Chains A and B, each alone.
Chain A
Amino acid sequence: MSYDIDFFYTLKGIDTLMEGLLVTLQLSLTSIVIGVSLGFVVALMVMSPSKLLSWPATSFIEIFRCTPALIQIVWIFYCVPMLFNVFLDPIVMGVLALSLNLIAFNAEAYRAAIQAIPKAQLDASVALGLNKIQTNVYVVLPQAIRLALPVLVTNGISIFQQSALVAIVAIEDLMYMGKMLSTETYRPIETFTVVALIYFAIALPAMYISSQLEKRLKVA
């Protein structure tokens, strides 16, 4: 091997990487907050008896689940400004693209969770004289969130990783800064390794939490 490993330049550039990480975290966390809340709304729309609500919601979910995240991001970056004549801050565009993707996956998780609630629970609610809204709020929602939680956490981890794709449309996230730094310093091995380790160090605890949640759910 003719390449000498030297972390000096990469460590010198750690400030740059940290700036990038901040953007990555900002993108992921905002998308997660939006995805967790609007995902539930979309799931309710999908399950609504009104076709006017369920049809658009189902189409939205299928489109975002069945196309690569990369094309979603690129499409939103190039086509939204052209079609609608709006020019937003790149980070806002990034959040838009990632949130839409996450909403679709979370809506599916909520839907599966709601369907997994035994029908006897609904019968019991009727027998106890709860009305529809009371049943949804006190019986369905708490159980759906509990059942969906491990998948929601997993989806959150995925969106954190998918956020690296915004580097391709030149948003200055951790991935983008890493690519820049590696080109500037001619130190791809050190830089890309450090970048990968940063992603891993954040994802690992979250993956652990998700598997613990799943175990707890199985015991219950």
Chain B
Amino acid sequence: MQTTTQDTPAFIKVRGLKKSYSETIQVLKGLDLDMYPGDRIVVIGPSGGGKSTLLRCVMGLENIDEGTIEVDGKPYIKGQGRTEKNAIDHTIQKQVGMVFQHYTLFPHLTILQNLTLAPVKSRGIPRSQAEEKARGLLKRLGLADKADAQPSQLSGGQKQRVAIARALMLSPELMLFDEVTSALDPELVNEVESVMMQLADQHMPMMIVTHDMWFAKNIATRVVFCAGGVVVEDGTPEQIFSNPKEQRTRDFLEKILHTENAA
């Protein structure tokens, strides 16, 4: 299943990533991670371990203290101290898309307007072209009849699918999913996860933070166990879920799988 070798140059290369929210609260403590072309990475780990922060750093939402992120061998983000602003390449940032836990649709715009705002206003794509693409995406995600609805009229699962479509409008080279099913009612989780599976079938590079271990097993090419602000263990889903090497990984999985079985 693993498509990578040590010789292939990394697509995303994270080195020595440190991020703190105050003098005392350090969330990432020198995290290293390589993502190779074709990888779909699922990041798992205890809450507070830095999973979401890692994704937010890759999106360029957080100001990092130290470390670098490279994309295709080119410098993307470089930390210059806790109080100094990052050096960031906005051209590369535009190739990254992200979907959030709480949908973050624009509440005052219709679904279609949510999809076309960024392409039309920020990328200068002609409106008719953007709308055509938007309608196509909505149709593919089973939301064709919702184009003119307001976000407040949609269910959580529908909102999250719209949020995915909105990110896809910009044809990203990498998609980040930050606990996108955590706020959903259990019966709505599947419709969102199956859209993500569709993207996986189209070989979209993804980095996913999720608590759904069953889904993680199915979608990931690599699973990264992140705790205490560093990558503790990294391997194929089979390795991590069936035969974890590290004691911390074993403890974590035992705890969750135990709870899942009990439920």
- Please determine if A and B sit in direct contact within the complex, based on CB atoms under 8 angstroms apart: no
B residues contacting A by CB (< 8 A) are none
